[in-house]
Amino acid sequence: MVTAVHPFADEWTDDYALFSVEHDRVAYSRPLRHFLAHCRADRLRPVLLTGEGALISPHLYTAMTESGALWAFRSARGVFDARSGLRIRSISELWTGTDASERHTEIAFEGLPVPVVLFDIYATERAVDSTLVGPLADHAVATLGGGSLTRYGRDEPLTSQWDHRALTTQVQGQMPASEVILAASDLGAWCSLTVARTRDGLIQRVHGGVPLPSLSSTPVDGLRDRVMPTVTRMLSGLVDEFRPRVAMVSAGMLRHNAADFGFRVGGQPVDAPLAVLIGPRAVRDLRLDFTRLAERHDLTTLGPGRVPSALVRMTGRDALWAQLRAFAYDLDQERLGAVLATELGGMS
C-alpha cells in the first residue's frame, strides 16, 4: 500500500484517505468539504480520525453518510472504530472487520441524548423569475419547531445571512444543478438544499433535522405520539403551499454539548420512520389504489383536484420500519423504483 502526501488529507493511499481533526467540535469546514469531494472523485474511502470526545456537527455527519465516510477515534489506549467502539490495529479494519475484543468503555458524555425529527423533501417549482429558493426550507424547519433559518453557506461556519433573493441568485448562477447549500437556525435546526433543472421546471431537495431538547427524556420509540401532530401539520402544509413529489419524516437521536448539537462516538440508534407523503405526480405515476391501501395503512388523502396527495403515518402496533416496509411492499415495486430513480437522478 502506497501512502502519499496530499493537500487535502493527512494520509492518502490506494484504498483510503484519512483526515485527522484535533478539535472537540468537528464542523463541516471547507477543508473537510474538499476532502470528501476528492475522495468521491478518486473513489477512495474517506476516513475521519478524531479524539474520543469529539462532537460531529449534523451537517458534517450528513455529508459523511452520503460519502460513505468511516470514523475512527484515538485515545491513550489506541485507535478505535467510532461506531462499534472496538479497537483496530489498522485503518483497513474499519471496513474489513477486526477480531479484537477490546472495547472502549470509558467515555463519559456531557448531557442527555436529544431527540431529533429528520425530514427529506423533494418538490417541484416553476422555472420562472418569481420562483424563490428558501421558502420550502423555512416551512419544514419552522413548522417542526426549529425556529427561523438565520444563516447559510457552502461550509461551516455559515457566514451569510439567510436571504431568499440572494440565495436564489446564487442558485441561478449554478444551473443546471446547484451545489449543496447548508442552512441553520439559532435553535440548532439544520438543513441542506439542492436545486436542479428538469425538462418541465425545477426540482428541489431539502433535508435536515430539528432537535427537540424539551423531549430529551422521551425515547425514540415514544417520540412518535408526541410529534405526529406537528409532522402531520408540516406535511399538510407542503401540499397546501408547495408542489411536493415525495417527503419522508423520521425520528433520531443527537447528543449535545452546551448549545451545540451533534453526534458522538458510539453506535447511533437507527432512525425510525414516522410518515411518508406522496405528491400528486408520484400518486399518478404509482397508480395508487387509495381504497386498497387504506385497508392496511393509516392513509389520508390531502389536497384538491382529481389526483390528491397521499399521507401515510406509521401509527400501527408493528415496529416502525416494519410498517414502512409493508407499505412499500404494497406499492407497485417496478413503478416505485422508477419514481425514486427519477427523484434521485434529478439531484445528482
pLDDT at position 65 is 92
Amino acid 291 reads T
Per-residue pLDDT of the chain (348 residues; tens, 9 = 90+): 444 444 445 778 888 999 999 888 899 999 999 999 999 999 999 999 999 888 999 999 999 999 999 999 998 888 888 888 888 888 998 998 877 666 665 555 455 688 999 999 999 998 888 899 999 999 999 999 999 999 999 999 999 999 999 999 999 999 999 999 999 999 999 999 999 998 888 999 999 999 999 888 777 667 888 999 999 999 999 999 999 999 999 998 888 877 789 998 876 777 888 999 998 888 887 788 888 888 888 888 998 777 798 899 988 766 765 766 776 666 755 555 555 555 545 555
DSSP character string of 256-313: EETTEEEB-SSPPPPPEEEEEEE-HHHHHHHT--HHHHHTTSEEEEESSSSS-EEEEE
Cβ-contact 272, 220 below 8 angstroms: yes
Bridge-based pairing state of the strands 4-6 and 9-12: antiparallel
- DSSP one-letter code for 214: G
**Residue for cell digits 470526545?**
53
By CB atoms closer than 10 A (0-12, 13-18, 19+), residue 225 is: exposed
pLDDT at position 186 is 95
pLDDT at position 195 is 95
Q: Which CATH architecture has domain 4-96?
A: Ribosomal Protein L15; Chain: K; domain 2 (3.100)
- Angle ∠(13,63,242) on CA atoms, nearest 5: 155
Cβ-contact 277, 122 below 8 angstroms: no
* H/E stretch holding 141: helix 135-143
Q: Note the pTM of the prediction, 2 decimals.
A: 0.87
pLDDT at position 128 is 87
pLDDT at position 78 is 86
Domain map of the chain by residue range?
Answer: 4-96, 114-346
pLDDT at position 50 is 94
Per-residue HEC secondary structure of 31-48 comes to: HHHHHHHHHHHHCCEEEE
